[in-house]
Chains A and B, each alone.
Chain A
Amino acid sequence: MSAPAAARRRLPRRRVPAGPISLLAGAIVWELIGHLAGASFFPPLSTVIGRLAGMVTSGEIFASLADSLLNLVLGFAVSLAGGLLVGVAMGRFRKVEAALGVYVYALLTAPSLVFAPIFFSLLGEGRGSIVAVVVMYAMFVMIINTASAIQSVPGHLVEMARSYGASETQILLRVMLPAAAPMIMAGVRLGVGRAVTGMINGEMFIAVVGLGRIVTQAGGRFDGAGVLAILLVIIAVALGAVALVQAVDRKITGWVPQTSRGH
Protein backbone atom coordinates (compact mmCIF):
# COMPACT_ATOMS: atom_id res chain seq x y z
CA MET A 1 0.00 0.00 0.00
CA SER A 2 1.53 3.29 -1.04
CA ALA A 3 0.95 5.42 2.01
CA PRO A 4 2.02 8.75 0.49
CA ALA A 5 -0.35 8.37 -2.44
CA ALA A 6 -3.22 7.51 -0.13
CA ALA A 7 -2.43 10.46 2.10
CA ARG A 8 -2.33 12.84 -0.83
CA ARG A 9 -5.68 11.62 -2.03
CA ARG A 10 -7.25 12.05 1.37
CA LEU A 11 -5.87 15.46 2.20
CA PRO A 12 -8.13 17.78 0.20
CA ARG A 13 -11.25 16.29 1.80
CA ARG A 14 -10.23 17.47 5.27
CA ARG A 15 -10.32 21.21 4.80
CA VAL A 16 -12.43 22.14 7.82
CA PRO A 17 -12.96 19.63 10.64
CA ALA A 18 -16.73 19.76 10.18
CA GLY A 19 -17.45 17.05 12.74
CA PRO A 20 -15.97 18.70 15.86
CA ILE A 21 -17.32 22.15 14.91
CA SER A 22 -20.74 20.68 14.38
CA LEU A 23 -20.62 18.85 17.71
CA LEU A 24 -19.52 22.03 19.47
CA ALA A 25 -22.37 24.01 17.91
CA GLY A 26 -24.79 21.27 18.93
CA ALA A 27 -23.50 21.39 22.50
CA ILE A 28 -23.99 25.17 22.68
CA VAL A 29 -27.52 24.93 21.28
CA TRP A 30 -28.34 22.15 23.75
CA GLU A 31 -27.02 24.24 26.64
CA LEU A 32 -29.04 27.30 25.58
CA ILE A 33 -32.30 25.45 24.94
CA GLY A 34 -31.86 23.54 28.17
CA HIS A 35 -31.60 26.77 30.13
CA LEU A 36 -34.45 28.48 28.29
CA ALA A 37 -36.83 25.51 28.42
CA GLY A 38 -36.22 24.72 32.04
CA ALA A 39 -37.96 21.37 31.62
CA SER A 40 -36.96 18.40 33.75
CA PHE A 41 -36.81 16.15 30.71
CA PHE A 42 -34.39 18.42 28.84
CA PRO A 43 -31.78 19.77 31.22
CA PRO A 44 -28.83 21.79 29.86
CA LEU A 45 -25.69 19.94 28.82
CA SER A 46 -23.73 21.25 31.83
CA THR A 47 -26.24 19.66 34.21
CA VAL A 48 -26.02 16.37 32.32
CA ILE A 49 -22.23 16.43 32.41
CA GLY A 50 -22.32 17.24 36.09
CA ARG A 51 -24.62 14.30 36.66
CA LEU A 52 -22.31 12.07 34.62
CA ALA A 53 -19.30 13.24 36.63
CA GLY A 54 -21.25 12.43 39.79
CA MET A 55 -21.97 8.90 38.52
CA VAL A 56 -18.31 8.44 37.64
CA THR A 57 -16.95 9.67 40.98
CA SER A 58 -19.48 7.67 42.97
CA GLY A 59 -18.56 4.69 40.81
CA GLU A 60 -22.18 3.66 40.30
CA ILE A 61 -21.85 3.74 36.50
CA PHE A 62 -18.88 1.35 36.34
CA ALA A 63 -20.62 -1.75 37.63
CA SER A 64 -23.43 -1.28 35.12
CA LEU A 65 -21.02 -0.46 32.32
CA ALA A 66 -19.00 -3.59 33.04
CA ASP A 67 -22.18 -5.69 33.10
CA SER A 68 -23.29 -4.22 29.81
CA LEU A 69 -19.93 -4.71 28.16
CA LEU A 70 -19.86 -8.33 29.27
CA ASN A 71 -23.32 -8.86 27.75
CA LEU A 72 -22.13 -7.17 24.58
CA VAL A 73 -18.91 -9.15 24.27
CA LEU A 74 -20.59 -12.50 24.97
CA GLY A 75 -23.45 -11.82 22.57
CA PHE A 76 -21.17 -10.46 19.88
CA ALA A 77 -18.77 -13.40 20.15
CA VAL A 78 -21.61 -15.90 19.75
CA SER A 79 -23.01 -13.88 16.84
CA LEU A 80 -19.64 -13.66 15.13
CA ALA A 81 -18.97 -17.38 15.44
CA GLY A 82 -22.48 -18.31 14.33
CA GLY A 83 -22.52 -15.69 11.61
CA LEU A 84 -19.26 -16.86 10.06
CA LEU A 85 -20.12 -20.54 10.32
CA VAL A 86 -23.65 -20.35 8.93
CA GLY A 87 -22.67 -17.64 6.44
CA VAL A 88 -19.80 -19.66 4.98
CA ALA A 89 -22.02 -22.75 4.79
CA MET A 90 -24.74 -20.77 3.01
CA GLY A 91 -22.23 -19.18 0.68
CA ARG A 92 -20.56 -22.44 -0.29
CA PHE A 93 -23.47 -24.84 -0.45
CA ARG A 94 -26.53 -23.94 -2.45
CA LYS A 95 -28.68 -26.40 -0.56
CA VAL A 96 -27.87 -24.81 2.77
CA GLU A 97 -28.75 -21.44 1.32
CA ALA A 98 -31.99 -22.81 -0.10
CA ALA A 99 -32.89 -24.27 3.28
CA LEU A 100 -31.99 -21.31 5.49
CA GLY A 101 -31.97 -18.19 3.30
CA VAL A 102 -35.58 -17.11 3.70
CA TYR A 103 -35.59 -17.62 7.43
CA VAL A 104 -32.39 -15.69 7.98
CA TYR A 105 -33.81 -12.79 5.96
CA ALA A 106 -37.08 -12.94 7.89
CA LEU A 107 -35.30 -12.89 11.24
CA LEU A 108 -33.08 -10.06 10.04
CA THR A 109 -36.04 -7.84 9.20
CA ALA A 110 -38.42 -8.84 12.00
CA PRO A 111 -38.39 -6.68 15.14
CA SER A 112 -35.87 -8.63 17.22
CA LEU A 113 -37.09 -7.55 20.64
CA VAL A 114 -40.41 -9.44 20.33
CA PHE A 115 -38.38 -12.59 20.87
CA ALA A 116 -37.18 -11.30 24.22
CA PRO A 117 -40.21 -12.69 26.10
CA ILE A 118 -39.40 -16.11 24.66
CA PHE A 119 -35.80 -15.98 25.86
CA PHE A 120 -37.08 -14.67 29.15
CA SER A 121 -39.27 -17.72 29.56
CA LEU A 122 -36.64 -20.19 28.33
CA LEU A 123 -33.48 -18.83 29.92
CA GLY A 124 -34.85 -17.03 32.92
CA GLU A 125 -34.40 -13.53 34.21
CA GLY A 126 -30.68 -13.07 33.80
CA ARG A 127 -27.65 -12.63 31.63
CA GLY A 128 -28.50 -15.56 29.37
CA SER A 129 -31.63 -13.86 28.10
CA ILE A 130 -29.86 -10.57 27.43
CA VAL A 131 -27.05 -12.32 25.56
CA ALA A 132 -29.67 -14.16 23.51
CA VAL A 133 -31.31 -10.84 22.60
CA VAL A 134 -27.91 -9.46 21.54
CA VAL A 135 -27.38 -12.51 19.33
CA MET A 136 -30.84 -12.08 17.85
CA TYR A 137 -29.97 -8.53 16.91
CA ALA A 138 -26.43 -9.03 15.64
CA MET A 139 -26.10 -12.47 14.08
CA PHE A 140 -28.33 -12.40 11.02
CA VAL A 141 -26.79 -9.40 9.34
CA MET A 142 -23.40 -11.11 9.67
CA ILE A 143 -24.77 -14.35 8.20
CA ILE A 144 -26.21 -12.54 5.18
CA ASN A 145 -23.05 -10.54 4.53
CA THR A 146 -20.75 -13.52 4.93
CA ALA A 147 -22.87 -15.65 2.61
CA SER A 148 -22.95 -13.08 -0.16
CA ALA A 149 -19.27 -12.30 0.39
CA ILE A 150 -18.37 -15.95 -0.16
CA GLN A 151 -20.64 -16.14 -3.19
CA SER A 152 -19.03 -13.12 -4.81
CA VAL A 153 -15.47 -14.39 -4.51
CA PRO A 154 -14.13 -14.12 -8.09
CA GLY A 155 -14.41 -17.51 -9.77
CA HIS A 156 -11.06 -17.16 -11.48
CA LEU A 157 -9.22 -17.03 -8.14
CA VAL A 158 -10.81 -20.30 -7.05
CA GLU A 159 -10.03 -21.83 -10.42
CA MET A 160 -6.44 -20.63 -10.16
CA ALA A 161 -6.06 -22.26 -6.74
CA ARG A 162 -7.56 -25.49 -8.11
CA SER A 163 -5.09 -25.49 -10.98
CA TYR A 164 -2.32 -25.65 -8.38
CA GLY A 165 -3.97 -28.63 -6.74
CA ALA A 166 -5.31 -26.75 -3.72
CA SER A 167 -7.59 -28.78 -1.45
CA GLU A 168 -11.07 -27.56 -0.52
CA THR A 169 -9.80 -26.49 2.90
CA GLN A 170 -6.91 -24.60 1.34
CA ILE A 171 -9.28 -22.89 -1.10
CA LEU A 172 -11.52 -21.83 1.78
CA LEU A 173 -8.73 -20.60 4.04
CA ARG A 174 -6.26 -19.18 1.53
CA VAL A 175 -8.55 -17.83 -1.18
CA MET A 176 -12.20 -17.55 -0.26
CA LEU A 177 -11.99 -16.11 3.24
CA PRO A 178 -9.31 -13.50 2.43
CA ALA A 179 -11.14 -12.48 -0.75
CA ALA A 180 -14.43 -12.25 1.14
CA ALA A 181 -12.92 -10.42 4.12
CA PRO A 182 -13.85 -6.84 3.15
CA MET A 183 -17.52 -7.68 2.71
CA ILE A 184 -17.57 -9.92 5.78
CA MET A 185 -16.10 -7.07 7.80
CA ALA A 186 -18.77 -4.71 6.49
CA GLY A 187 -21.30 -7.15 7.94
CA VAL A 188 -19.39 -7.34 11.21
CA ARG A 189 -19.48 -3.54 11.43
CA LEU A 190 -23.25 -3.53 10.98
CA GLY A 191 -23.47 -6.42 13.41
CA VAL A 192 -21.60 -4.66 16.20
CA GLY A 193 -23.89 -1.62 15.90
CA ARG A 194 -26.91 -3.87 16.14
CA ALA A 195 -25.32 -5.74 19.02
CA VAL A 196 -25.09 -2.53 21.07
CA THR A 197 -28.75 -1.82 20.31
CA GLY A 198 -29.67 -5.35 21.31
CA MET A 199 -27.70 -5.02 24.51
CA ILE A 200 -29.52 -1.84 25.59
CA ASN A 201 -32.96 -3.05 24.51
CA GLY A 202 -32.44 -6.41 26.16
CA GLU A 203 -31.29 -4.79 29.36
CA MET A 204 -34.20 -2.39 29.35
CA PHE A 205 -36.66 -5.25 28.86
CA ILE A 206 -35.07 -7.67 31.28
CA ALA A 207 -34.13 -4.94 33.73
CA VAL A 208 -31.76 -6.78 36.02
CA VAL A 209 -28.30 -5.61 34.98
CA GLY A 210 -26.46 -3.03 32.96
CA LEU A 211 -26.87 0.40 31.45
CA GLY A 212 -30.33 -0.50 30.16
CA ARG A 213 -31.53 -1.10 33.70
CA ILE A 214 -30.18 2.13 35.16
CA VAL A 215 -31.53 4.20 32.27
CA THR A 216 -34.96 2.69 32.93
CA GLN A 217 -34.60 3.43 36.63
CA ALA A 218 -33.54 7.01 35.96
CA GLY A 219 -36.62 7.40 33.77
CA GLY A 220 -38.76 6.03 36.55
CA ARG A 221 -37.36 8.66 38.95
CA PHE A 222 -38.06 11.39 36.34
CA ASP A 223 -34.32 12.07 36.43
CA GLY A 224 -33.84 13.61 32.96
CA ALA A 225 -30.20 14.49 33.53
CA GLY A 226 -29.54 10.91 34.61
CA VAL A 227 -31.17 9.48 31.49
CA LEU A 228 -29.18 11.79 29.22
CA ALA A 229 -25.94 11.12 31.11
CA ILE A 230 -26.37 7.38 30.61
CA LEU A 231 -27.37 8.00 26.99
CA LEU A 232 -24.01 9.74 26.48
CA VAL A 233 -22.27 6.69 27.91
CA ILE A 234 -24.30 4.43 25.61
CA ILE A 235 -23.37 6.52 22.57
CA ALA A 236 -19.73 6.33 23.61
CA VAL A 237 -19.99 2.52 23.90
CA ALA A 238 -21.63 2.30 20.47
CA LEU A 239 -19.10 4.55 18.75
CA GLY A 240 -16.22 2.84 20.56
CA ALA A 241 -17.41 -0.63 19.50
CA VAL A 242 -17.77 0.45 15.87
CA ALA A 243 -14.37 2.17 15.92
CA LEU A 244 -12.79 -0.98 17.30
CA VAL A 245 -14.26 -3.09 14.52
CA GLN A 246 -13.11 -0.52 11.98
CA ALA A 247 -9.57 -0.68 13.33
CA VAL A 248 -9.59 -4.46 13.05
CA ASP A 249 -11.10 -4.12 9.57
CA ARG A 250 -8.28 -1.85 8.43
CA LYS A 251 -5.77 -4.34 9.74
CA ILE A 252 -7.36 -7.30 8.00
CA THR A 253 -8.27 -5.65 4.72
CA GLY A 254 -5.40 -3.18 4.38
CA TRP A 255 -4.84 -4.43 0.83
CA VAL A 256 -8.11 -2.99 -0.46
CA PRO A 257 -7.27 0.17 -2.44
CA GLN A 258 -8.43 3.37 -0.68
CA THR A 259 -10.40 4.49 -3.71
CA SER A 260 -12.68 1.47 -3.65
CA ARG A 261 -13.42 1.82 0.07
CA GLY A 262 -16.95 3.08 -0.06
CA HIS A 263 -18.72 2.83 3.26
Chain B
Amino acid sequence: MTTATTHRRARGAATTRTGPVEARRPCPPRRLLGANLPYQLLTFAVFAVAWEAYATVWGGLLLPTFTETVGATFQLLGTAELWQAMYVSNQALVIGFAIAVVIGVPLGIVLGRFRALERFADVYLNILLVTPMAAIIPLLMMSVGFGLASRVILVAVFSIVMVVVNSRTGVRQVDPSLIEMARSFGATERQIWTRILFPGALPAIMTGIRLGVGRAVTGMVLVELLMVSAALGGLILEYRGLFRAPMLYGTIVIIVAEALLLISLARWGEHRLTRWSKATTARSTR
Protein backbone atom coordinates (compact mmCIF):
# COMPACT_ATOMS: atom_id res chain seq x y z
CA MET B 1 0.00 0.00 0.00
CA THR B 2 2.77 2.40 0.92
CA THR B 3 4.58 1.54 -2.28
CA ALA B 4 1.71 2.70 -4.40
CA THR B 5 1.31 6.02 -2.59
CA THR B 6 4.99 6.90 -2.64
CA HIS B 7 5.13 5.91 -6.25
CA ARG B 8 2.34 8.27 -7.02
CA ARG B 9 3.85 11.26 -5.27
CA ALA B 10 7.23 10.54 -6.79
CA ARG B 11 5.73 10.97 -10.23
CA GLY B 12 4.74 14.46 -9.19
CA ALA B 13 1.00 13.90 -9.35
CA ALA B 14 -0.79 16.64 -7.46
CA THR B 15 -2.36 15.29 -4.32
CA THR B 16 -5.01 16.99 -2.31
CA ARG B 17 -2.76 16.95 0.72
CA THR B 18 -0.32 19.78 0.44
CA GLY B 19 1.91 21.60 2.79
CA PRO B 20 5.09 20.22 4.25
CA VAL B 21 5.52 16.47 4.19
CA GLU B 22 8.25 14.55 5.88
CA ALA B 23 11.26 13.76 3.72
CA ARG B 24 11.14 10.20 2.52
CA ARG B 25 13.80 7.78 1.55
CA PRO B 26 14.06 7.19 -2.17
CA CYS B 27 12.86 3.78 -3.20
CA PRO B 28 13.64 1.99 -6.45
CA PRO B 29 10.83 2.24 -8.97
CA ARG B 30 8.78 -0.94 -8.97
CA ARG B 31 7.77 -2.82 -12.07
CA LEU B 32 4.14 -2.09 -12.78
CA LEU B 33 3.30 -5.75 -13.24
CA GLY B 34 4.80 -6.70 -9.91
CA ALA B 35 2.86 -3.95 -8.18
CA ASN B 36 -0.41 -5.07 -9.76
CA LEU B 37 -0.11 -8.78 -9.10
CA PRO B 38 -1.17 -8.74 -5.43
CA TYR B 39 -4.33 -6.83 -6.33
CA GLN B 40 -5.11 -9.20 -9.18
CA LEU B 41 -4.68 -12.21 -6.91
CA LEU B 42 -6.84 -10.55 -4.28
CA THR B 43 -9.63 -9.97 -6.79
CA PHE B 44 -9.42 -13.59 -7.89
CA ALA B 45 -9.47 -14.84 -4.31
CA VAL B 46 -12.50 -12.71 -3.45
CA PHE B 47 -14.27 -13.95 -6.57
CA ALA B 48 -13.47 -17.60 -5.85
CA VAL B 49 -14.50 -17.41 -2.19
CA ALA B 50 -17.73 -15.59 -3.05
CA TRP B 51 -18.55 -18.18 -5.71
CA GLU B 52 -17.76 -21.06 -3.37
CA ALA B 53 -19.88 -19.61 -0.57
CA TYR B 54 -22.79 -18.73 -2.83
CA ALA B 55 -22.80 -22.13 -4.53
CA THR B 56 -22.51 -24.00 -1.25
CA VAL B 57 -25.49 -22.19 0.24
CA TRP B 58 -27.77 -21.68 -2.75
CA GLY B 59 -26.22 -24.00 -5.31
CA GLY B 60 -28.23 -26.75 -6.87
CA LEU B 61 -28.16 -29.00 -9.83
CA LEU B 62 -27.08 -26.21 -12.17
CA LEU B 63 -24.61 -24.28 -10.02
CA PRO B 64 -21.41 -26.07 -9.06
CA THR B 65 -19.01 -24.71 -6.48
CA PHE B 66 -15.70 -23.16 -7.45
CA THR B 67 -13.75 -26.20 -6.29
CA GLU B 68 -16.03 -28.58 -8.17
CA THR B 69 -15.49 -26.54 -11.31
CA VAL B 70 -11.71 -26.55 -10.91
CA GLY B 71 -11.82 -30.29 -10.38
CA ALA B 72 -14.03 -30.85 -13.40
CA THR B 73 -11.76 -28.69 -15.54
CA PHE B 74 -8.76 -30.88 -14.78
CA GLN B 75 -10.82 -34.01 -15.19
CA LEU B 76 -11.97 -32.78 -18.60
CA LEU B 77 -8.42 -32.09 -19.68
CA GLY B 78 -7.76 -35.80 -19.21
CA THR B 79 -10.60 -37.01 -21.38
CA ALA B 80 -10.30 -37.95 -25.04
CA GLU B 81 -13.75 -36.48 -25.60
CA LEU B 82 -12.49 -32.96 -24.92
CA TRP B 83 -9.44 -33.23 -27.14
CA GLN B 84 -11.56 -34.68 -29.92
CA ALA B 85 -13.92 -31.71 -29.60
CA MET B 86 -10.96 -29.33 -29.47
CA TYR B 87 -9.62 -30.79 -32.68
CA VAL B 88 -12.92 -30.47 -34.51
CA SER B 89 -13.52 -26.90 -33.29
CA ASN B 90 -10.05 -25.69 -34.07
CA GLN B 91 -10.09 -27.24 -37.49
CA ALA B 92 -12.88 -24.85 -38.45
CA LEU B 93 -11.11 -22.03 -36.64
CA VAL B 94 -7.80 -22.47 -38.44
CA ILE B 95 -9.25 -22.94 -41.92
CA GLY B 96 -11.78 -20.14 -41.53
CA PHE B 97 -9.28 -17.71 -40.11
CA ALA B 98 -6.72 -18.53 -42.80
CA ILE B 99 -9.34 -17.77 -45.46
CA ALA B 100 -10.17 -14.49 -43.73
CA VAL B 101 -6.53 -13.39 -43.74
CA VAL B 102 -5.81 -14.54 -47.30
CA ILE B 103 -8.84 -12.70 -48.68
CA GLY B 104 -9.11 -9.89 -46.15
CA VAL B 105 -5.61 -8.42 -46.22
CA PRO B 106 -5.41 -7.93 -50.03
CA LEU B 107 -9.00 -6.72 -50.08
CA GLY B 108 -8.27 -4.17 -47.38
CA ILE B 109 -5.14 -2.97 -49.15
CA VAL B 110 -7.02 -2.57 -52.43
CA LEU B 111 -9.78 -0.62 -50.69
CA GLY B 112 -7.23 1.61 -49.01
CA ARG B 113 -5.30 2.20 -52.23
CA PHE B 114 -8.26 3.06 -54.43
CA ARG B 115 -10.32 5.73 -52.70
CA ALA B 116 -13.19 5.63 -55.19
CA LEU B 117 -13.75 1.95 -54.50
CA GLU B 118 -13.56 2.53 -50.79
CA ARG B 119 -16.27 5.18 -50.86
CA PHE B 120 -18.66 2.68 -52.33
CA ALA B 121 -17.60 -0.18 -50.09
CA ASP B 122 -17.75 1.93 -46.94
CA VAL B 123 -21.47 1.63 -46.41
CA TYR B 124 -21.30 -2.17 -46.55
CA LEU B 125 -18.32 -2.34 -44.20
CA ASN B 126 -20.19 -0.16 -41.72
CA ILE B 127 -23.25 -2.39 -41.95
CA LEU B 128 -21.12 -5.52 -41.53
CA LEU B 129 -19.39 -3.99 -38.50
CA VAL B 130 -22.63 -3.42 -36.60
CA THR B 131 -24.69 -6.34 -37.86
CA PRO B 132 -24.98 -9.30 -35.52
CA MET B 133 -23.44 -11.92 -37.79
CA ALA B 134 -25.10 -14.76 -35.95
CA ALA B 135 -28.35 -13.99 -37.77
CA ILE B 136 -26.91 -15.43 -40.99
CA ILE B 137 -26.35 -18.81 -39.36
CA PRO B 138 -29.79 -20.10 -40.42
CA LEU B 139 -28.96 -19.18 -44.04
CA LEU B 140 -25.68 -21.08 -43.80
CA MET B 141 -27.47 -24.15 -42.53
CA MET B 142 -29.89 -23.98 -45.42
CA SER B 143 -27.19 -23.53 -48.05
CA VAL B 144 -24.25 -25.68 -46.98
CA GLY B 145 -25.69 -27.84 -44.25
CA PHE B 146 -24.42 -28.70 -40.78
CA GLY B 147 -20.91 -29.79 -41.68
CA LEU B 148 -17.45 -28.35 -41.49
CA ALA B 149 -18.12 -25.97 -44.39
CA SER B 150 -20.73 -23.90 -42.61
CA ARG B 151 -18.53 -23.57 -39.54
CA VAL B 152 -15.53 -22.53 -41.66
CA ILE B 153 -17.59 -19.95 -43.54
CA LEU B 154 -18.97 -18.46 -40.34
CA VAL B 155 -15.52 -18.17 -38.75
CA ALA B 156 -14.25 -16.52 -41.94
CA VAL B 157 -17.17 -14.10 -42.14
CA PHE B 158 -16.77 -13.21 -38.48
CA SER B 159 -13.10 -12.38 -38.67
CA ILE B 160 -12.74 -10.96 -42.17
CA VAL B 161 -14.40 -7.59 -41.39
CA MET B 162 -11.79 -6.72 -38.78
CA VAL B 163 -8.96 -7.75 -41.10
CA VAL B 164 -10.33 -5.73 -44.03
CA VAL B 165 -11.11 -2.59 -42.05
CA ASN B 166 -7.72 -2.49 -40.33
CA SER B 167 -5.72 -3.27 -43.47
CA ARG B 168 -7.57 -0.47 -45.25
CA THR B 169 -6.81 1.96 -42.45
CA GLY B 170 -3.19 0.87 -42.50
CA VAL B 171 -2.77 1.60 -46.19
CA ARG B 172 -4.50 4.94 -45.77
CA GLN B 173 -1.98 5.88 -43.11
CA VAL B 174 0.99 5.30 -45.41
CA ASP B 175 2.58 8.64 -46.20
CA PRO B 176 1.66 9.49 -49.82
CA SER B 177 5.02 11.20 -50.28
CA LEU B 178 6.65 7.78 -49.90
CA ILE B 179 4.74 6.57 -52.96
CA GLU B 180 5.84 9.68 -54.86
CA MET B 181 9.37 9.06 -53.73
CA ALA B 182 9.25 5.46 -54.99
CA ARG B 183 7.78 6.64 -58.29
CA SER B 184 10.57 9.19 -58.66
CA PHE B 185 13.04 6.31 -58.45
CA GLY B 186 11.13 4.53 -61.18
CA ALA B 187 9.40 1.93 -59.02
CA THR B 188 6.76 -0.14 -60.77
CA GLU B 189 3.22 -0.45 -59.39
CA ARG B 190 4.11 -3.94 -58.16
CA GLN B 191 7.16 -2.63 -56.34
CA ILE B 192 5.11 0.13 -54.78
CA TRP B 193 2.76 -2.50 -53.37
CA THR B 194 5.39 -4.84 -52.02
CA ARG B 195 7.96 -2.27 -50.92
CA ILE B 196 5.85 0.65 -49.72
CA LEU B 197 2.20 -0.15 -49.13
CA PHE B 198 2.47 -3.55 -47.52
CA PRO B 199 5.32 -2.78 -45.08
CA GLY B 200 3.83 0.60 -44.25
CA ALA B 201 0.46 -0.92 -43.50
CA LEU B 202 1.87 -3.91 -41.61
CA PRO B 203 1.35 -2.62 -38.06
CA ALA B 204 -2.32 -1.93 -38.74
CA ILE B 205 -2.69 -5.24 -40.59
CA MET B 206 -1.30 -7.04 -37.56
CA THR B 207 -3.79 -5.23 -35.34
CA GLY B 208 -6.54 -6.41 -37.69
CA ILE B 209 -5.25 -9.96 -37.48
CA ARG B 210 -5.17 -9.83 -33.69
CA LEU B 211 -8.73 -8.52 -33.52
CA GLY B 212 -9.66 -11.04 -36.19
CA VAL B 213 -8.42 -13.92 -34.02
CA GLY B 214 -10.74 -12.81 -31.26
CA ARG B 215 -13.68 -12.63 -33.63
CA ALA B 216 -12.78 -15.98 -35.17
CA VAL B 217 -12.91 -17.70 -31.77
CA THR B 218 -16.21 -15.96 -31.10
CA GLY B 219 -17.56 -17.19 -34.43
CA MET B 220 -16.41 -20.73 -33.75
CA VAL B 221 -18.12 -20.86 -30.36
CA LEU B 222 -21.21 -19.13 -31.65
CA VAL B 223 -21.96 -21.45 -34.52
CA GLU B 224 -21.44 -24.48 -32.34
CA LEU B 225 -23.68 -23.12 -29.61
CA LEU B 226 -26.44 -21.76 -31.80
CA MET B 227 -26.83 -24.27 -34.59
CA VAL B 228 -24.49 -27.11 -35.21
CA SER B 229 -24.09 -28.50 -31.68
CA ALA B 230 -20.70 -29.85 -32.65
CA ALA B 231 -17.40 -30.06 -30.85
CA LEU B 232 -16.81 -27.68 -27.89
CA GLY B 233 -20.13 -25.89 -28.20
CA GLY B 234 -21.78 -29.27 -28.51
CA LEU B 235 -20.11 -30.41 -25.29
CA ILE B 236 -21.57 -27.41 -23.46
CA LEU B 237 -25.06 -28.18 -24.72
CA GLU B 238 -24.65 -31.87 -23.94
CA TYR B 239 -23.50 -31.28 -20.36
CA ARG B 240 -26.27 -28.78 -19.89
CA GLY B 241 -28.81 -31.30 -21.11
CA LEU B 242 -27.40 -33.93 -18.73
CA PHE B 243 -27.34 -31.44 -15.81
CA ARG B 244 -23.62 -32.11 -15.35
CA ALA B 245 -22.98 -28.57 -14.15
CA PRO B 246 -19.31 -28.90 -13.11
CA MET B 247 -18.43 -30.31 -16.52
CA LEU B 248 -20.46 -27.55 -18.21
CA TYR B 249 -18.59 -24.86 -16.29
CA GLY B 250 -15.30 -26.63 -16.88
CA THR B 251 -15.85 -26.61 -20.63
CA ILE B 252 -16.60 -22.89 -20.51
CA VAL B 253 -13.41 -22.27 -18.53
CA ILE B 254 -11.42 -24.19 -21.13
CA ILE B 255 -12.96 -22.32 -24.06
CA VAL B 256 -12.32 -18.94 -22.44
CA ALA B 257 -8.76 -20.02 -21.63
CA GLU B 258 -8.17 -21.05 -25.23
CA ALA B 259 -9.58 -17.77 -26.52
CA LEU B 260 -7.40 -15.72 -24.21
CA LEU B 261 -4.35 -17.81 -25.08
CA LEU B 262 -4.87 -17.35 -28.81
CA ILE B 263 -5.47 -13.61 -28.42
CA SER B 264 -2.36 -13.22 -26.27
CA LEU B 265 -0.36 -15.12 -28.88
CA ALA B 266 -1.68 -12.82 -31.59
CA ARG B 267 -0.82 -9.80 -29.47
CA TRP B 268 2.67 -11.11 -28.91
CA GLY B 269 3.13 -11.66 -32.62
CA GLU B 270 1.80 -8.19 -33.32
CA HIS B 271 4.28 -6.66 -30.88
CA ARG B 272 7.24 -8.44 -32.43
CA LEU B 273 6.36 -7.50 -35.99
CA THR B 274 5.30 -3.98 -35.11
CA ARG B 275 8.54 -3.28 -33.30
CA TRP B 276 10.48 -4.24 -36.40
CA SER B 277 8.31 -2.19 -38.72
CA LYS B 278 8.25 0.82 -36.40
CA ALA B 279 12.03 1.01 -36.72
CA THR B 280 11.69 0.91 -40.50
CA THR B 281 9.09 3.63 -40.74
CA ALA B 282 11.04 5.81 -38.36
CA ARG B 283 14.09 5.41 -40.54
CA SER B 284 12.25 6.10 -43.76
CA THR B 285 10.52 9.23 -42.56
CA ARG B 286 13.68 10.84 -41.27
Residues of A in contact with B (beta carbons under 8 Å apart): 16, 18-19, 21-23, 25-26, 39-42, 94-95, 98-103, 106, 109-118, 120-122, 155, 158-159, 162, 168, 193, 196-197, 199-201, 204-205, 212, 215-216, 218-220, 222, 224, 227-228, 230-231, 234-235, 238-239, 242
Q: Which residues of B contact A114 (CB under 8 A)?
A: 221, 225, 236, 252, 255-256
* In contact, A109 and B137 (Cβ under 8 angstroms): no
Complex: chain A residue closest to B12, CB-CB: A155
Complex: chain B residue closest to A198, CB-CB: B132
Does B36 make an interface contact (CB < 8 A)? Answer: yes
Q: Of A99, A118, A159, which is within 8 A of B42 by CB?
A: A99
Q: Which residues of A contact B13 (CB under 8 A)?
A: 155
5 contacts between A and B (CB under 8 A): A18-B123, A98-B35, A98-B39, A204-B137, A215-B138
Q: Which residues of B contact A158 (CB under 8 A)?
A: 14
| Distance of A121 Cα from B58 Cα, bound (Å) | 13
Q: Of B62, B137, B220, which is within 8 A of A121 by CB?
A: B62
Does B53 make an interface contact (CB < 8 A)? Answer: no
Complex: chain A residue closest to B8, CB-CB: A94
* In contact, B8 and A117 (Cβ under 8 angstroms): no
* In contact, A40 and B259 (Cβ under 8 angstroms): no
Per DSSP, are chain B's interface residues mostly helix, strand or loop, or mixed? helix
Complex: chain A residue closest to B215, CB-CB: A111
Q: Which residues of B contact A100 (CB under 8 A)?
A: 43
Q: Of A102, A196, A230, A239, which is within 8 A of B127 by CB?
A: A239
* In contact, A42 and B121 (Cβ under 8 angstroms): no
| A99 touching B131 in the complex, CB below 8 Å, given contacts A111-B222, A114-B225, A155-B14 | no
A interface footprint on B227-264 (CB within 8 Å = 1, 0 otherwise): 10000000011001000010011001001100110010
Complex: chain B residue closest to A235, CB-CB: B131
Q: Return A226 CB to nearest CB of chain B, in Å.
A: 9
Per DSSP, are chain A's interface residues mostly helix, strand or loop, or mixed? helix
Q: Return B76 CB to nearest CB of chain A, in Å.
A: 14
| A193 touching B119 in the complex, CB below 8 Å, given contacts A114-B221, A201-B222, A219-B141 | no
Q: Which residues of B contact A39 (CB under 8 A)?
A: 143
| A234 touching B42 in the complex, CB below 8 Å, given contacts A40-B142, A159-B14 | no
* In contact, B142 and A18 (Cβ under 8 angstroms): no
* In contact, B134 and A222 (Cβ under 8 angstroms): no
| A121 touching B245 in the complex, CB below 8 Å, given contacts A41-B142, A111-B255 | yes
Which residues 99-135 of B have a CB within 8 angstroms of A?
119-124, 127, 129-135
Sample of 5 more A-B contacts, CB < 8 Å, known A117-B252, A193-B130: A114-B221, A155-B13, A201-B226, A219-B142, A224-B142
